[in-house]
Amino acid sequence: MTRYDREMDAITELAERLAQRIRRSVAVDDTDLRLLGSSTHFGDADPLRLTSLANRRIEGPVREATFAAGFPHWRSPRRGRALGIEGHEYDRMAFPLRSRYGPLGVMWVILRGEDELSDEEMALCVSAAHEMERVLAWQHQDGLESALEVEALLFALLSDAEQDRASAARDLTDLGYFENADEVTALAVVGAEPWPARTADERAEVLRRSLRQAVQPQWDRSAAFAVAEDHAFLLVGGRGAAARTDCARAAERAAARVAPLDAGLAEGLRFGVGSAVPLAEASRSYDHARTAARIAVDRGRPVAFWDEHPLETLVEAAVRSRIDASLVPELVRETVESQPEELLRTVACFLEQAGSVARTSDLLHLHRTTVYYRLRLFEKETGLSLDDGGDRFLLQLWLAVRGRVGPPPGR
């Protein structure tokens, strides 16, 4: 019998016991709105519940609406009104099920019309929900502890001590991770500032769940992830182009799975892909991935690859992470920065395309005459020449580091 089957049996028994006492239908879903257990009906099952019983999960607009309401973050009982779509005809009283690690699921009690639960019935439901939490937490404890152990080992791979990195690599291999992979590639996950108004724990909870869904079951133990307070990272086993493709796919899948849970967080996510390295050298790929993620943030792109941005990565290696604005020449700090953003974007694209107006025009979807006009206007306003090698290098360097400029330390 699988863990899912054991959960189904225990939860169904608890749901049935509660339903018989309050004379209303009870159903329990996990955090993916997959059915864990349900009770006898009392003539109060609407078409949606009957469909979910058959399909074992809630799908379609009702699912989207439930995630949009943030149900994984619910912490107290609430009444959900009938949506009137896809057979969602009756109100439901929702009782969130949680452990100290995060959400476990939700218990639904069907309410018809203006039906209300009495104080005694509410107490029975809350008590049943607590029992279900204990069952689910017990079933999930081994898996959660194993996942946290893997996260700890991944962070150990980033240690400054070579001995710690080697030991973590051996332990991961002993657990079955990356045993068939000669190399791993890091994928860093960061948020474009500002992060949505959630606590660090809530963001971590969303990222863990989404990354878990993004890597399972496709990669099984050839991939693993860890979540920190302000970022997350994923290691994928594989070589060269295949690893790059897998990382890009993982980024796309993770963003897609964050969206129903937190649309604001999903919109701001940026991903950076590092280099392929031996497992014991994963910290190098991690550093590359973090650099690529910052490039993705600076350029407003969803994903950036470390090896595709040699100028920015060289700057990252050579320049301090925060630049004192008072040390920056006024020519760029004031004159260049005072130009409209559309001029700066045009100049940046022109420089990236090695001075090709045609390619700049195509990439920015502008008429060539418009590109020429913006470039000449920029030269007139700044006194810099886009035909001069020194001026072009100055501009490329500034455009690569401008996001790091701030007040001197301590101010």
Interval 361-376: pLDDT, tens: 988 898 999 999 999 9
Residue 411 lies in a domain: no
Q: Do 282 and 205 fall within a single domain?
A: yes
What is the arithmetic mean of pLDDT over 208-224? 77
Q: Quote the pLDDT of residue 196.
A: 59
| Pair (178, 44) in one structural domain | no
- pLDDT score of 139: 60
Q: Does any domain span residue 97?
A: yes
| The overall pTM is greater than 0.75 | no
**How many distinct structural domains can be found in the chain?**
3
Q: Which of 9-13, 30-34, 60-64, 73-77 has the lowest mean pLDDT?
A: 60-64
The pLDDT value given to residue 219: 67
Q: Is the pLDDT of residue 123 over 90?
A: yes
The strands making up 269-277's β-sheet, listed across from edge to edge, are: 223-227, 232-237, 184-191, 269-277, 303-305
| Token digits of residue 101 | 């690690």
Q: Is residue 151 part of a domain?
A: no
Within a domain: 206: yes
Q: Find the mean pLDDT for residues 158-167.
A: 88
State which residues form the domain around 369: 323-406
Around Cβ 324, how many Cβ atoms within 10 Å?
14
Residue in the structure block whose two tokens are 């107006």: 357
Split at pLDDT 50, 70, 90, the class of 336 is: confident
Per-residue model confidence (pLDDT) at position 409: 47
Together in a domain, 314 and 333? no
Across the range 112-120, mean pLDDT stands at 87
Asked if 121 and 22 touch (Cβ cutoff 8 Å), the reply is yes
Same domain, 125 and 192: no
Domain end (from 251, 284, 318): 318
Q: How far apart are the first and last CA of the chain?
A: 62
Q: Which two tokens stand for residue 148?
A: 């946290």
**Two tokens, residue 164:** 């710690």
Average pLDDT over residues 201-226: 79
Same domain, 355 and 274: no
